[in-house]
Amino acid sequence: MRVPVPAEVLPADRLGRVHFVGIGGAGLSGIARIMLARGLTVSGSDGADSPTLDALRAAGARVHVGHDAAQVGDADTLVVSTAVREDNPEYVEALRRGLRVLPRSTALAAVMAGRRVLAVAGTHGKTTTTSLLTVALQTAGADPTYAIGGELSATGVNAAEGSGELFVAEADESDGAFLHYTPYAAIVTNVDADHLDQWGTPEAYAAAFDEFADTLDPEGFLVCVVDDPGAARLADRHEAAGRRVVRVSAREPGALAGVPLWSPGEHYLADALAALAVGRTLGLDEDDLVRGLASYTGTKRRMERKGEVGGVRVYDSYAHHPVEIAGDLQAARVLAGDGRLVVAFQPHLVSRTRIFGTAMGEALGAADEVVVLDVYLAREDPDPDVTGALVADAVPLPRERVVHVAGIDEAARELVARARPGDLVLTLGAGDVTHTGPQVLALLEEAGG
């Protein structure tokens, strides 16, 4: 559901009591955590219980499982996830009572108010780059507030209130949220068409990044990873328009040459270089920034190691676009060493699978064994013509090395049947495929691994 952005964005301390519908999601939970740290009264609801809800309860939020109009309580402001449907009883109740209703983008802008915002945008790599920038700035003594689309492994949280003036934020383009932040500085990792259900065409999607760059503070700067053609074109256009632009490239690692990073792969190096460029341009100590980047231990669901049993290593990653799949398989191939790469992939969204399903399958051809699950529906209705079979049929491997299954239980069994000692098992996708890795490890244990 798309909630209109109000003409005036109020700072968080003027929102009164705030109720979040979909509070367990990566975006809303982070905003709620920051509001709680500032002493605001926060409540919320989500469709299922989770460790995230437990953590918010511990921080002082009143959180419900399931949705009911009565749970809005005495809230003054309702914040709504894009995954929420228009018939959600809490949303309907807020409209009936005339409450202030905000989309995620406006709620994030509200907690940004009064801070110097550093926004991280791009089709791929936003969460990793935001995380790297946060850790680098912390190590350099800046202590920023941060809001990330995943949990930092070092802290176990996706957002925290800092004591400094900086606010590091993952700027999501999927629903146009990144057009409402007015950052001082921004990173664009790449511009590679996605979310065409929102933007319509690749051209419109690219134009949105131009509009995003136009929202920057005139005194600020733009960092672009120019290994990506879309980001390189963006850099050229905005430099020609007089904006301060910093270009980085994994082919010219500079201060990070020889620095051990948390994961192999050119795209991870590019993410780290972009984070370094922001800190350096802000005038922070380069040695401290590099030390922070070298100390980074990852973010949950971004090439996250889940464990090892019987010589089989299991990793999990959020990759759900063909370019992300290719990048993670490149990194996983290095991690696998002499072992084979056994992959389970769950397509995310009917609309994305309809457009990119064939390319997803082609990217999966870099693995040795592939298990494709059915589409994770999220906020969309099913389409019988768009299933995991569309992806599986496009994988350029012998048929016996590719299988299409319905769900995570069957996927776990297939992965165990195909993996052998020395192999690396990688689960990919933005849906509940993340639960497959622990099942694989448990089944290997049961088998005497």
List the binding residues: 122-128
Say which of 106, 127, 189, 353 is annotated catalytic. 127
Distance CA 348, CA 342 (A): 19
Contacts of 299 by beta carbon, 8 Å cutoff, 6+ apart:
127, 128, 131, 148, 150, 151, 152, 153
Q: At what angle do helices 350-364 and 322-336 cross, to 10 degrees?
A: 40
Provide the annotated binding site for ATP: 122-128
Active site residue 380: no
Rounded CA separation 187/170 (Å):
10
> Looking at 90, 93, 126, 299, which residue is catalytic?
126
Which candidate in 90, 93, 170, 324 is catalytic?
170
First to last CA, the chain: 46
Q: How far apart are CA 237 and CA 233, in angstroms?
A: 6
Closest CA to 386 of 349, 411, 415, 417: 349
Alpha-carbon gap, residue 188 to 121, rounded angstroms = 5
Q: Is 82 a residue of the active site?
A: no
- Looking at residue 20, its amino acid is F
Pairing of strands 341-345, 424-428: parallel
Distance CA 263, CA 269 (A): 8
Residues 183/171, Cβ–Cβ less than 8 Å: yes
Q: For residue 29, give the H/E element and its range.
A: helix 26-37
Q: Is 127 among the catalytic positions?
A: yes
Active-site positions?
126-127, 170
